[in-house]
Amino acid sequence: MVGERLRHLRRVRGETIDQTARRAGISPQYLSEIERGVKEPSSEMIAAVTGALDVTLVDLVAGVADRLTAVRETVRDTVRQPTVRAAFALAA
């Protein structure tokens, strides 16, 4: 979800991967892999990308936490809603 959040923040700024990666000092391919969840970046890489996006690590983590909370609530609501199956019989 960190990668998803970074992608969201980059897109909100209207930037390409190339622009953000250049400012972060990493390759566009590596940033793409981070955003897609293929690579697990080090804390230094996360700091470089958040700096390039002009957001704090707290902003990033808060956004991820909000997303996790929303997913948890969706799952909880889905589990709580029982599947209703009704059977009807006609009496003669």
pLDDT of residue 88: 54
Collect contacts of 16-23 with beta carbons under 8 A, ≥24 apart. Answer: 20/49, 20/52, 20/53, 21/52, 23/51, 23/52
Residue 70: inside a domain: yes
Residue 73: inside a domain: yes
Number of domains the chain contains: 1
Domain range holding 73? 2-80
**What CATH number corresponds to the domain at position 50?**
1.10.260.40
Residue 91: inside a domain: no
Residue 87: inside a domain: no
Give tens-digit pLDDT for 49-88: 999 999 999 999 999 999 899 888 877 777 665 555 655 5
Residue 35: inside a domain: yes
* pTM score, whole prediction: 0.75
Residue 88: inside a domain: no
Residue 21: inside a domain: yes
Q: Which helix (H) or strand (E) holds 11?
A: helix 2-12
Residue 89: inside a domain: no
Give tens-digit pLDDT for 19-32: 999 999 999 999 99
